[in-house]
Amino acid sequence: EVQLVETGGGLIQPGGSLRLSCAASGLSVSSNYMTWVRQAPGRGLEWVSLIYGGITTNYADSVRGRFTVSIDISNNTFYLQMNNLRVDDTAVYYCTREMAARRLDPWGPGTLVTVSS
Amino acid sequence: DIQMTQSPSSVSASVGDRVTITCRASQGVNTWVAWYQQKPGKAPKLLIYAAYSLQNGVPSRFSGRGSGTDFTLTINNLQPEDFATYYCQQAHSFPRTFGPGTKVHIK
């Protein structure tokens, strides 16, 4: 069974840094398009970033230059390093995979990041 | 970036009804549109991909249509478990973008 699980969320002050992890089972993070999507409280879904092969990356304008996505092949995990966090980065962060026909499946249960002083 | 809009933003319906949700892209996206269902406190669930392909395990009362800029998601014979929020998403270009969502309420 393919499964994704996020960890690393929590409360952080504005300007701080946090690293989210997404542990994968049943798929290889190095050969899939691994994706982060977030959802602010009471709001819709926002695509954040994607990494493929550990090299190809893409970011939403709202996070480019502050967030960095990476993978660890040995742990079959991919990460979202979030720097210079802002209050409007507060959201549940989901990891998912963009698979054949560019569909997002499966999804992890999400991890909550709260940016507040 | 490609902007996705959805209408209506919310709809009230009864069990057994047919509900149609419309999604429009700000520029042509071929058939690179997917639809997701989300229930409160849960991760989104893939329903439809490539505009009209039904994801494995999703009931056939869900269907998708469209190409270019205009897309629809139709739910026939609405069931109690279908009351949720539905999002369209374009996968034509980066950054990927989602519509604002349509909440399906119980009438």
Instruction: Render pLDDT for B18-45 as a digit per residue (tens, 0 to 9).
Output: 999 999 999 999 999 999 999 999 999 9
Q: In whole angstroms, what is the distance from residue B95 CA to residue B78 CA? A: 33
Q: In B, which residues are within 8 Å of A37 by CB distance?
A: 44, 98
Would the CB atoms of B95 and A45 count as touching at under 8 Å? no
- Helix extents (H) in chain A: none
pLDDT score, position A115: 98
User: In this complex, is the C-beta atom of B99 within 8 Å of any C-beta atom belonging to chain A?
Assistant: yes
For residue B11 the two structure tokens come to 């709809």
- Characterize the bridge pairing of strands B102-106 and B10-13: parallel
Beta-carbon separation of B55 and A61 below 8 A: no
pLDDT at A15 over 90: yes
pLDDT higher than threshold 90 for residue A43: yes
Is A79 part of the contact surface with chain B (CB cutoff 8 Å)? no
CB contact under 8 A, A50 and B94: yes
Q: What is the DSSP letter of B100?
A: -
Q: Which residues contact B70 (CB under 8 A, 6 or more apart)?
A: B22, B23, B24, B25
